[in-house]
Structure 1
Amino acid sequence: MHLAVSNVVDRKRYEGRVEDDNGSLAAIAEYIPTDALVVFTHTEVFDGYEGQGVASRLVNAALEDVRRNGGRVLPLCPFVKSYIAKHQEFADLVYSSRTRISSGD
């Protein structure tokens, strides 16, 4: 199965569609865009497409898109967070605060 991934900006999500006669929607990765980063909030694979690596291909393409655009990510979605942990080539995209909190010493 070939999956076409696109960033549907007006819906604030990446969509993975099966390249067949219908262009069936197989999965989505929702996000909140900010000036500084992309916050991934939810990934969902639809009935009939589970267990086929659809979510992994979708998230990989989404992270590659963020990289191409010079962005950073905050993975609140457990799947995206887990995917990045397993694919360290994307670890550099993860946003981290530079602010240090003093312990009061």
Structure 2
Amino acid sequence: MSNLVTHNADKDRYEIHVDNILAGFTQAFEDGDVVTFPHTVVFDQFEGQGLASQLVTGALDDIRVRGKKIIATCPYVARFVEKHPDYQDLLA
């Protein structure tokens, strides 16, 4: 099984694909140097595989490389950042 996280700027989101099938996404609305994450979804048939964590990790790693900060209004993203101190520097 191959998982890939991509930034889909046209749809304002990061997506995770499992074997080339869209398995979920996290909305990511950019406003200058700040990206707001309001909602994360992993589709039912892909739940329980740790994909949300992989998705958010990939998204936050990309945000860091791009030199931006985040606002985590999505409860999942907020908890993820709280549990992973190495991403707390990204908070706006």
Q: TM-score range by the shorter chain?
A: over 0.9
Task: Give the unaligned 5+ runs of structure 1.
Answer: 96-105
Alignment of 1:1-105 (within 5 A): 1-19=1-19, 23-95=20-92
Q: Which amino acid letter does the alignment assign opposite residue 4 of structure 1?
A: L
Identify, as 1 or 2, the structure richer in strand: 2
- Answer with 1 or 2: which has the greater Rg: 1
- Structure with more contact order per residue of length (Cα contacts < 8 Å, sep ≥ 6): 2
Q: Which runs of 4+ in 1 moved over 2 A?
A: none
TM-score (norm 2): 0.96
Identify, as 1 or 2, the structure richer in helix: 2
Q: Which amino acid letter does the alignment assign opposite residue 55 of structure 1?
A: A
Give yes or no for contact 2:26–2:40 (8 Å, CA) kept in 1: yes
Q: CA deviation at 1:14?
A: 0.3
Task: Give the unaligned 5+ runs of structure 2.
Answer: none
What count of residue pairs does the alignment treat as equivalent? 92
Q: Which amino acid letter does the alignment assign opposite residue 24 of structure 1?
A: I
Give yes or no for contact 2:33–2:67 (8 Å, CA) kept in 1: no
Please state whether the residue corresponding to 2:38 is helix, strand or coil.
strand
* Cα RMSD (Å): 0.8
Q: CA deviation at 1:32?
A: 1.1
User: Percent of aligned positions with the same letter in both sequences?
Assistant: 39
